Amino acid sequence: MPTSEVVDICRDLIRIDTSNYGGEPGPGERAAAEHVAGLLDEVGISAVLHEPVPGRTSLVAHWGEDTGRPALLIHGHLDVVPAAAQDWQVDPFAGEIRDCPHGGLSLWGRGAVDMKDFDAMLLSVVRARQRAGRPPARRVVLAFTADEEAGGHLGAQRLVEDLPGEFDGVTEGIGEVGGFSTTIRGRRLYLIEAAEKGMAWMRLTTRGTAGHGSMINHDNAVARLAAAVARIGAHQWPVTLTPTMQTLLAAVADLVGTEATPENAESLIEEFGPAARMIGATLRHVTNPTMLAAGYKVNVIPTEATAHVDGRFLPGYEDDFFETLAKLCGEGVDIDFVSNQKPWETPYDGAIVDAMTSALLAEDPEAAVAPYLMSAGTDAKHFTKLGIKTFGYAPLRLPADLDFTGLFHGVDERVPLDALEFGARVLDRFLDRV
C-alpha cells in the first residue's frame, strides 16, 4: 500500500531493534543513529555522532541559519525498552501496518509511541522543508539520543556534559510525551508537557546479626527491611497541586462545567479515563517498592538485605518527599541512589506556548489545549541543566477509546497512521510560528 514518508521513516526505525536492557549497549542504537544521520545527510544536514561507550550512540545536527533569535532544541531518543515477542500479536520489530481495534490502520511495533513516532515526524518535516527551501523560523538544534530508557546517563546527559557547545544559544526545546489528545465528554483536549516529576531510584539496605533460623534474633536484617518496605508501600501521599496541575484541572473543570478545587482533583482526573493511570500519579508523590533480595538458605538469617524503590517526587516539594521517606524507612535503613534526577517545571506562557497551541488548533479547531505534569521522566531533565526551557510536544490526534498511555512500554504498541500524519502537519505549522 502507498504510505507517506513519515510512516515509512517510523516503520524503518521500528525495524532497527534498539532495545535498551539497562546494562550493556543494545543491539541497534548505533545503527539507528547512523540511519538518522544518513536521512539528514541526504538533504544537506550534517550530524555529529557522539559515542561515550561503544554502541551507545547519539547525534546532534544544526538546521537553519542564525536569524538573531535564540535557537530551538528539538530532541528525541532512539532506544526502546525490550519486548517479549511471545506476548505480542505481531513481531515487535517488524513494523507491520494492520487494522487497529479502534478503527483505521496503525503501525505496530516497539517504539511506535515511545518514541520513534516523533522521531519520524521530525525527520519527515525537516526533510520536506529542506527539499522545498523552507528553513525554520529560527535556528534549530536536532538531538537524537541513546540510553533514554535507562535514565539517559550515556545519552542526553553525556551530550550535555561532553558537548555543551553544541547547544550554545538554545533557550527553548521540545521533546516527547506531550501534544497528544485525550477526550473528555466528547471534546478533545491536547496535553502539553510543562513539568516532570523527579526520579529517585533507591536501594535500601539493612544490616543485622547473622545466625541460625531456629533461634531468637532481635537484629534481623530481613525483618527490619520488610517493615520499612511495608510502610513505604502502604503510605498514602497527600494531594499536592503544582502550578501546572492547577492549570490543567481548571481546563478540565471548564469542560465538565464545574470549578477545580483540591478536594475534587481526583474526580476531575477520572474524566481522563484510562489516562488517569498516568495523570493521576501527578497529584502526589509516588513510591513503589519494586525489588527485594536477601539470604541464601532458609535456615540462615543473613547479615544483609536490600530492596529497591522507585520514587517520583513533585517539582517544588523535594524536601517534603525525602524527609517523609526517611521517616518511613526508620532507623537502621541506609538509602543509596541508583539514579537521582531533579524535577522541573516550566512556566506555561510565552511565544512558544502560543505557537504550540495555535499549530494544534489550526488542525483541530474545536479542541482545547492545556499543560500537564509528566509522571515519569524524559531526556528533558538533562537539557534543563543548560537552562533550556523545555516542553513535551509530540502532537497526535488519537481515537477517543484508545488507551494511549497504556501503550507506553506495553504489549502491542502501535500508532494510528493518520495520527502520525496529523503530527507531521502540526509540527510543520509550529516551525513556521515559533
Instruction: Mark whether 118 and 225 lie in a shared domain.
Output: no
Instruction: Mark whether 159 and 25 lie in a shared domain.
Output: yes
Instruction: Mark whether 119 and 161 lie in a shared domain.
Output: yes
Q: What is the pTM of this model?
A: 0.93
Instruction: Mark whether 156 and 202 lie in a shared domain.
Output: no
Instruction: Mark whether 264 and 412 lie in a shared domain.
Output: no
DSSP secondary structure code for residue 385 in this structure: G
What pLDDT, on the 0 to 100 scale, is given for residue 67? 86
The Cα 115–Cα 424 span in angstroms is: 14
What pLDDT, on the 0 to 100 scale, is given for residue 179? 96
Instruction: Mark whether 211 and 336 lie in a shared domain.
Output: yes
In a domain, 190, yes or no: no
Instruction: Mark whether 147 and 48 lie in a shared domain.
Output: yes
In a domain, 104, yes or no: yes
The Cα 341–Cα 413 span in angstroms is: 27
Per-residue pLDDT of the chain (434 residues; tens, 9 = 90+): 567 999 999 999 999 999 999 877 778 999 999 999 999 999 999 999 999 999 999 999 999 998 889 999 999 999 999 999 999 999 999 999 998 777 789 999 999 999 999 999 999 999 999 999 999 989 999 999 999 999 899 999 999 999 999 999 999 999 999 999 999 999 999 999 999 999 999 999 999 999 999 999 999 999 999 999 999 999 999 999 999 999 999 999 999 999 999 899 999 999 999 889 899 999 999 999 999 999 999 999 999 999 999 999 999 999 999 999 999 999 999 999 998 989 999 999 999 999 999 999 999 999 999 999 999 889 999 999 999 999 999 999 999 999 998 899 999 999 999 999 999 999 999 999 99
Instruction: Mark whether 126 and 162 lie in a shared domain.
Output: yes
What pLDDT, on the 0 to 100 scale, is given for residue 370? 98
In a domain, 191, yes or no: no
Residue at a domain's end among 301, 321, 341: 341
In a domain, 268, yes or no: yes
User: Per the structure block, which three cell numbers stand in for 24?
Assistant: 550493556
CATH number for 393: 3.40.630.10
3-state SS of 154-189? CCHHHHHHHCHHHHCCEEEEEECCCCEEEEECCEEE
In a domain, 396, yes or no: yes
In degrees and rounded to multiples of 5, residue 195 shows phi and psi of -165, 155
In a domain, 109, yes or no: yes
Instruction: Mark whether 266 and 397 lie in a shared domain.
Output: no
User: Per the structure block, which three cell numbers stand in for 306?
Assistant: 536490600
Residue at a domain's end among 312, 341, 370: 341
58-90: burial string, b at 16+ Cβ within 10 Å, e else: bbbbbbbeeeeeebbbbbbbbbbbebeeeebeb
Instruction: Mark whether 233 and 280 lie in a shared domain.
Output: yes
β-pairing, 389-392 with 170-175? parallel
Residue at a domain's end among 341, 365, 389: 341
If DSSP codes are grouped into helix, strand and coil, which group holds residue 34?
helix
Domain tally for the chain?
2
In a domain, 189, yes or no: no
CATH number for 310: 3.30.70.360
Q: Position 3: which residue type?
A: T
What pLDDT, on the 0 to 100 scale, is given for residue 23? 79
Cβ atoms within 10 Å, residue 238: 10
Range of the structural domain that residue 307 is part of: 196-341
The Cα 5–Cα 203 span in angstroms is: 45
Cβ atoms within 10 Å, residue 164: 11
Instruction: Mark whether 12 and 77 lie in a shared domain.
Output: yes
Instruction: Mark whether 243 and 307 lie in a shared domain.
Output: yes
Closest C-alpha to 229, from 206, 259, 252: 206
In a domain, 188, yes or no: no
334 burial (CB, 10 Å; 0-12 / 13-18 / 19+) is exposed
The DSSP element (H or E) to which 105 belongs, if any, is strand 105-108
